[in-house]
Amino acid sequence: MTEHLTITVMRGGPSAEREVSLRSGAAVAAALRAKGHTVHELDPQGAGQWTLAAGTEVVFLALHGTYGEDGTVQRELDALRMPYTGCDPEASRLAFDKVLTKQKCITFGAPTAKFLTFHSAETPWPAGWQPPVVLKPVRQGSSVGLQFVDSVAEFPAKLAEALKFDREVLMEERIIGRETTVGILAGRALPIVEVRPKQGSYDYQNKYTAGATEYFCPADFDANTTARIQDAAYAAFNAVGGRDYARVDVMVRANGDPVVLEVNTLPGMTETSLLPKAAAAAGLSYGELCQMMVDLALRRHR
């Protein structure tokens, strides 16, 4: 029988991913209540602008984006000596910064795409590069500000657009291949989810529009390729110092070579999100997944 707990679910928050976080948190809170826990919901507006409900024994972080996923709220909870789900402040900070993640991947041998960074919309097209490329704000999630550049002529406008979302923009080669994501949970890689948008790319709209994207889990790769993708994801998770769980996005070239895109330390937790899909394929219900995340946090704390 599950131990009864008083849990605060942090959801919403001040980031560009607020709406997704509200949905994640509502689903988590409902699942934990169904497990018999007392659940409080807290919508933090920023650093130091919240108070935990009396009696809280553990915090479930259903926040996404800046403040919630970049190590800030994790540092605040550590200062309170309050156990919470997911990665510690340093792993959160590293994983939220796409450039730091790539540097760690290179150091630890996790495969990642070649890249450059830009700080100014006046930057000319770099010598030695050919389109297509992808532009990404360095510190955003959920494909916020993502730009695909198919010609040199498009570059100035798309760089300016990406810079609206962060002061630094990452450019990397666009990997042509199959798009996958690998959940990491309690020291193992979960079954691979393949993502296939019906039109265009897996951008913010296709992520959060019902029916716009097809998902296949377990993805249809041979055993060797499956192992290579999972190994690459686990290597990236370890490279940033991940703990308990995360979700790692991986492109797979036509020859089967995996290329890590990024590590998501607080992945979406709506019932249709990718980590719950992977957990379901491994035999874990949504409620069991939420309970395991809480148990991992408490085990570490105790």
Q: Which of 11, 13, 17, 97 is catalytic?
A: 17
268 is catalytic: yes
Residue identified by tokens 């946090």 is 297
Exposure class string for 147-186: b at 16+ Cβ within 10 A, else e: bebeeeebbeebbebbbebbebbbbbbbbebbbbbbbbbe
Of these residues, 69, 70, 244, 249, which one is catalytic?
249
Does the annotation count 264 as an active-site position? yes
Q: For residue 61, what is the enclosing H or E element?
A: strand 58-61
**Secondary structure class of 122 (helix, strand, coil):** coil
Contact 139, 66 (CB under 8 A): yes
- The crossing angle, in degrees rounded to 10, of helices 286-301 and 274-281 is 100
262 in active site: yes
For residue 228, indicate whether it is catalytic: no
- In terms of C-beta density within 10 A (0-12 exposed, 13-18 middle, 19 or more buried), how is residue 267 classed? buried
Distance of CA 230 to the CA centre of its chain: 16
The one catalytic residue in 245, 268, 273, 286 is 268
Burial 55-74 (b: 16+ CB within 10 A, else e): ebbbbbbbbbbbbbbbbbbb
Please choose, from the candidates 295, 290, 293, 265, the residue with its C-alpha nearest in 3D space to the C-alpha of residue 68. 265
The catalytically annotated residue of 15, 92, 264, 273 is 264
| Residue 249 annotated in active site | yes
Active site residue 142: yes
CA 102 to chain centre: 14
Task: Report the distance separating Cα 170 and Cα 188, nearest Å.
Answer: 29
CA dist 104 and 237 (Å) reads: 10
Marked catalytic residue, from 23, 139, 178, 247? 247
The catalytic site residues sit at 17, 142, 208, 247, 249, 262, 264, 268
